[in-house]
Amino acid sequence: MPLNVGDNITFERRFTEKDVALFTQVSGDEGSHHVTPDEKGRLVVQGLLTATLPTKVGGDYNVMARNMNFEFLRPVFTSDTITCDVEIVKYEKQPNDRTAIMATFLCKNQNAKEVLKGDFSGVIL
């Protein structure tokens, strides 16, 4: 289904220790805060793992990203549930049979605290 300017897409994800371990293995980001639990038994989720939330929209709509901007506002921990709200700000057919897309996003934890915001642009193939 095509998108329209002003459309909002919302989804959520809960991060687990297994997610962090797999991302640690793939990325090589082995900072102690990603492998050693804090006093509450939680690990800090890698920023780029958190940043996979808005990229889900790209996967769902076949977007080839050209630009992505992330502002990491506070840590995300294992067992946090993050809600990601994406708003489409540009969706235009191009002469080359592609569609240009731009969107903004805001991610909040289960306590309604902002953890990540930014934007992305690209083309739909």
pLDDT digit string (tens) for the chain, length 125 residues: 679 999 999 999 999 999 999 999 898 777 778 888 789 999 999 999 999 999 988 889 999 999 999 999 999 999 999 999 999 999 999 988 899 999 999 999 999 999 999 999 999 98
Q: What domains can be seen in the chain, in order of their start residue?
A: 8-124 (3.10.129.10)
Query: What pLDDT was estimated at residue 27?
Result: 86
Picking from 95, 97, 103, the residue whose alpha carbon sits closest to that of residue 122 is: 103
pTM recorded for the entire structure: 0.90
Three-state DSSP state, 87: strand
Q: State the pairing for strand pair 81-93/8-14.
A: antiparallel
DSSP string, 43-112: -BPPHHHHTHHHHHHHHHHTEEEEEEEEEE-S--BTT-EEEEEEEEEEEEE-TTS-EEEEEEEEEE-TTS
